[in-house]
Amino acid sequence: MPNLRTSRIRLAAAAATTVLAALSLTACDNGTGTKDEGAATASTSATPGAEAGSGTTPESPSTRTDASGTGTGTAADAKPTSAAASKAPAASRTSSAGSSSAATPVTCEGSTTRTVAAPLTRPVNHLLLTVTNTGSRTCFLYGSPAVRFGEAQSVPPTIEDSQPQAVVTLEPGQSGYASVNLSATDGSAANGHTATSLTVHFQGRSLAGSVGKAATPALPAKGVYVDDSLKVTYWQQDMNDALSW
């Protein structure tokens, strides 16, 4: 029995010696000691270019893909589109500015209006002036018409009570009105005479003098009778307001 136990101990020692020898030979072959297979496996499983800890592959810097998987072009392709978009507001502002300038109202005067002078039977001894905006922009009729009959050296006074609450504004195609009291109905005024021509001057915003081109509406062939009682109303937006004086 003692001999059997001793044999088993010797066999176990021999086996252990064989294992240690094998391990020693492996370490000598690679020159670095025991290989860490787990570390090698983790290194080869990582995706090249992936951000650490992101768990996803970053989008390619040169190609974009939509949700359906269809390429939408390169990043370089996208730059001109962005540049064009950035210029669009400027172009829009330029267009808007040009449109705004064209819409700015101007002063009504002879070159952008048509003036008609029509004698009236009611009220008697009156002449109605109608000014129509023939231009493409809104215009303002300031103050009252400065009228000259024939070779008159001065313009008649304005009826102050006829002043409207606001400046007469004419959109293209619209008309403004003023009436002219030609003579006294009872013949009491002096210096009566017949005039065959009429010139109408337009006032500016300052109401100091005339602006632009004057109008020369035709009078009836027989002319109109005027005297020292001659006077005019302010420009009116409504014809009836002009005729009420």
- What is the rounded CA–CA span in Å between residue 50 and residue 102? 59
∠ CA 175-178-184 to the nearest 5 degrees?
A: 155
Q: Which spans in the chain are helix H? A: 2-30, 37-45, 75-103, 239-243
Q: Residue 168: which residues within 8 A CB-CB, separation 6 or more?
A: 140, 141, 176, 235, 236, 237
Determine contact, residues 217/114, Cβ cutoff 8 Å. no
Q: Which of 9-18, 21-30, 201-210 has the lowest average pLDDT?
A: 21-30
Rg over alpha carbons for the chain, rounded to the nearest Å, is 51
Residue 2 to residues 5, 6, 7, 9: CA-CA distances in angstroms? 5, 6, 9, 11
Q: To the nearest whole percent, how much of the chain has pLDDT over 70?
A: 58
Is the separation of the CB atoms in 105 and 138 below 8 Å? yes
pLDDT tens track for 119-148: 998 899 999 999 999 999 999 999 999 999
In the numeric block, the tokens 């109605």 are attached to 128
Q: How far apart are the first and last CA of the chain?
A: 155
Q: What is the 3-state secondary structure (H, E, C) of 34-71?
A: CCCHHHHHHHHHCCCCCCCCCCCCCCCCCCEECCCCCE
Higher pLDDT pick, 69 / 12: 12
Give the list of residues 6+ apart from residue 134 with CB closer than 8 angstroms, or none. 112, 113, 114, 172, 173
Q: What predicted TM-score, i.e. pTM, was given to this entire model?
A: 0.60
The tens digit of pLDDT for each residue in 75-120 reads: 334 343 434 434 444 444 444 444 555 689 999 999 999 999 999 9
Reported as a pLDDT band with limits 50, 70 and 90, residue 3 is low
